[in-house]
Structure 1
Amino acid sequence: MASVLNSIMVILRTPSVWRIVSDLLPFTTPLWLLVLVGLCFGWARKPDWAASFFNRRIGTSENEVSGSRQSVVPGWRVLPNSDFSKEKGEKMSDLSLTEVENNKKLVVTRVDLLRLYRLTEERDGGSSWKHMFDKTLPTMSYQTWMRDLSNGLTQYRSRTVFEDATPEQVRDFFWDDEFRISNRWNEMLMYQKTLEECHLTGTMIVHWIRKFPFFCSDREYIIGRRIWDLRRTYFCVTKAVPCSTIQRRNTPRRVDVYFSSWRIRAVESRRSDGQKTSCEVMLFHHEDVGIPKEIAKLGIRRGLWNCVKRIEPGLRAYQLAGLPSHLNPISGINTKITQEYIESLDNSGCLEELGELERAGNGGKSKGGEKPEPVHFPGMLLIGGAVVLACVIDPGLLTKMVLFGVTGFIWPKKGV
């Protein structure tokens, strides 16, 4: 300690200012390294002040949004929250089958309904599913599977059962982006804005920005949504759609391939009392976020449950809040269908249209019509990236790895 003080005194006696600065640099270097590390980890978690600053930067004022809105489909408009009740929405949705369903400009159509239906019935013609894991909480159970698609992406299927929840509550809960952000049950979503709503079909176009780990930029989504009602079995489709009103930027990076859709229905409670007081959500999800496939798979395998288990307390908070349907009227505007209707789609020429959609949307081709060159990463970089991704998703994982080593992470036991 005395030697350090003596060195500092010698430096201070130096007549040249530049000499003093150059001699002090070795002492301040560790401090600046600590500051840099702190900034990296702090920005990775993106505190509230950063998210609000980011929202201001991209411009979220009503004047800016209203000035940039242009109807994607003729007759579309943005609905004030007080304009429609749930009852009005349900009556108007019946008109969509005759007046709007044949409009080819709808961003979410019966082809997407058929695609989801065939997935739920396991008649989509894809490869077999590989089981990942099962998890159980006192009021929720969760199962998930995965498989590789022909376009190189990985698709995930999950079955979640919530005890003491109705299909309508769960439907409105997943459609309520404002609550998703305010409650923070989905910490990845940092910005949302409704761009368009159709008062006949309930179709929406929303703008999302999601937070990603610090080693890659955040991601931007333009998502089309629509719900079909088959006697209180809800087919909810969300997928990436084109949008010319929001220009592409380098940051955040736009995600062009995104399909995340689910079937919601009432099922019997695990109490085996014969009452359908539980709600089942069957989810199918795949997207192309531009992260190497193996890194994404390892990161999701280790971080998925930590994200999913936050859904259950979020749903319970939504139920306790008793949010009325008129606060989110668009979720109650559902296209009513029958089993005969969906079977007629399955047996009609809609299948050819579905095949064209699959080839156009999942061909794995770039804008120029050529397949992108595969990105090759060294093995250790893949493992290191997966470790960082999993630690960002699950902050407690880093402590576990320090205590118990990383062997179990790199080579997980079979069946985990």
Structure 2
Amino acid sequence: MSVLPDLLAEIFREPTLAGVARELAVLAAPLWLAALVGLLIGWAWRPRWAAPHQPPPQAPALLPPQQPAPAADKLTVLPRPKEVAASMAPVEDTELAVSTADLKHLRRVVEEKDGGPAWIHMMDRSLPTFRYQAWRRDMENGPPQYRSSTIFEDASPDVVRDFFWDDEFRMKNTWDDMLLQYDTLEECTETGTMVVRWVRKFPFFCSDREYIIGRRIWASGKTYYCVTKSVPRPSVPRSSKPRRVDLYYSSWCIRPVESRNGGMTACEVLLFHHEDMGIPWSIAKLGVQQGMWGCVKRIEPGLRAYQIARAAGEPMSKYAAMAHANTKFVADELTASEGNSEASSSSNNTVAEKPKHWTGNLPKVIMIGGAVALACSFDQGLLTKALIFGTARRFAGPGRR
């Protein structure tokens, strides 16, 4: 236990200040390298649930019950020719990738009646043209969930709806610079339901990710419920790169709200998002928290460019046109049909918690492994190796002595 004090005492016996500084730097360098090795081991670490061949666990409160997959001959609902449309039966809701059950679930989340954990307030930022707030809640058996409220001044719900649905503009304008590729796999012009394939760019230490997403919009007056979620499509082959994300949920409630200057000229976007990207949830949570505001600030200039393009009469893309094929419903009637079976919550928000230091969430074995690798790789003498192993043992906590 006296190795470190003896080593420090030896260093401070150096006759000059420069000598002391040099010896301290030699002492500290292995510790920084040990931390770096530990981080690299942490990035490479994958739990069993994140293996490509095994789908991630489903959290009980994450999504509504999945609808049974439709028969193979009903997967793709093609546009109906006008001359035969009148003689064909309407598309069954349960045959679609996104159904009324998903709308009911989104409404329960919006009204905070889904029975999930309390939301923890994370962020409150504002600029002259918009305000942003964000919350997080940690699920027992699933990835963290995020809820945000963005209020755009001088924006209509119709244009904001089209903006978020328009994959063509999303990539052309680069306000979403993670999107590398998009394709339409299925579409139903009667209900506006689509199945799209996205490929999104991830940092250099991760492979890019592939998403198979079902999406659909419901309208109640000027309020729009936009559901996007991952859907199983075994007919789309998997590959190691990009890596398929099996659990993805990102849905909006877009509605008019009062502007700062009075009048209903502002638009609020309530976003609910979670996904299992195949990396440890604690690391993903850190990344989201650090990069959230930077991503949000890119959305508003993109929306203003979209408003200008629409005002100039630029033609709509087919993706924006599909946003107009939404399903109308009466909110009161849907609420009445749901009965009293929904879980209720009188207050589902809490004050912000003090964020824990991110190193506390990594497995202790990462730091130990990094220290062992460093100690065995560098010939720095017995005292340095003893110090590295001692540091690792200290991170491991009380144990055998």
| TM-score > 0.5, shorter chain as reference | yes
Give matches, 1:2-401, under 5 Å.
73=74, 76-77=77-78, 99-100=90-91, 102-271=92-261, 273=262, 275-322=263-310, 323-325=314-316, 327=318, 328-347=320-339, 376=363, 378=365
Deviation for aligned residue 1:293: 1.1
Deviation for aligned residue 1:74: 6.0
SS where residue 104 of structure 1 aligns? helix
What residue ranges of structure 2 are gaps of 5+ in the alignment?
Answer: 1-70, 344-361, 369-401
SS where residue 260 of structure 1 aligns? strand
Deviation for aligned residue 1:380: 5.5
The separation in 2 between residues aligned to 1:239 and 1:117, in whole angstroms, is 15
Deviation for aligned residue 1:376: 4.6
The separation in 2 between residues aligned to 1:160 and 1:307, in whole angstroms, is 13
1:395 aligns to what? Answer: none
2:371 aligns to what? Answer: none
Per the alignment, do residues 135 and 378 of structure 1 end up closer, same or farther by CA in structure 2, a change over 3 Å counting? farther
Give, as a single letter, the amino acid of the residue that structure 1 aligns with 2:241.
T
The separation in 2 between residues aligned to 1:198 and 1:260, in whole angstroms, is 20
Per the alignment, do residues 286 and 379 of structure 1 end up closer, same or farther by CA in structure 2, a change over 3 Å counting? same
Deviation for aligned residue 1:245: 3.0
Per the alignment, do residues 330 and 241 of structure 1 end up closer, same or farther by CA in structure 2, a change over 3 Å counting? same
Deviation for aligned residue 1:104: 2.2
Alpha-carbon contact 2:76-2:186 (below 8 Å) kept: no
The separation in 1 between residues aligned to 2:73 and 2:222, in whole angstroms, is 29
Give, as a single letter, the amino acid of the residue that structure 1 aligns with 2:265.
T
SS where residue 312 of structure 1 aligns? helix
The separation in 2 between residues aligned to 1:301 and 1:232, in whole angstroms, is 32
For normalisation by structure 1, the TM-score amounts to 0.61
RCO higher in structure (CA 8 A, sep ≥6): 2
Across the two proteins, how many residue pairs are aligned to each other? 274
Per the alignment, do residues 320 and 213 of structure 1 end up closer, same or farther by CA in structure 2, a change over 3 Å counting? same
Deviation for aligned residue 1:379: 5.9
Deviation readout 1:13-57 (Å, 9 max, x if unpaired):
xxxxxxxxxxxxxxxxxxxxxxxxxxxxxxxxxxxxxxxxxxxxx
The separation in 2 between residues aligned to 1:277 and 1:304, in whole angstroms, is 26
The separation in 2 between residues aligned to 1:262 and 1:308, in whole angstroms, is 15
Per the alignment, do residues 71 and 285 of structure 1 end up closer, same or farther by CA in structure 2, a change over 3 Å counting? same
Deviation for aligned residue 1:342: 1.8
Per the alignment, do residues 181 and 210 of structure 1 end up closer, same or farther by CA in structure 2, a change over 3 Å counting? same
Per the alignment, do residues 186 and 378 of structure 1 end up closer, same or farther by CA in structure 2, a change over 3 Å counting? farther
Alpha-carbon contact 2:168-2:317 (below 8 Å) kept: no
The separation in 2 between residues aligned to 1:334 and 1:136, in whole angstroms, is 31
The alignment yields a C-alpha RMSD, in angstroms, of 2.9
Deviation for aligned residue 1:141: 0.5
Deviation for aligned residue 1:346: 2.4
Deviation readout 1:100-145 (Å, 9 max, x if unpaired):
3x44221100110011000000000011000001111110110000
Give, as a single letter, the amino acid of the residue that structure 2 aligns with 1:301.
Q
The separation in 1 between residues aligned to 2:364 and 2:245, in whole angstroms, is 22
Alpha-carbon contact 2:200-2:209 (below 8 Å) kept: yes
Deviation for aligned residue 1:71: 7.2
Per the alignment, do residues 302 and 326 of structure 1 end up closer, same or farther by CA in structure 2, a change over 3 Å counting? closer
- Larger Cα Rg: Structure 1 or Structure 2? 2
Q: Give the helix-richer structure, 1 or 2.
A: 1
The separation in 2 between residues aligned to 1:340 and 1:253, in whole angstroms, is 42
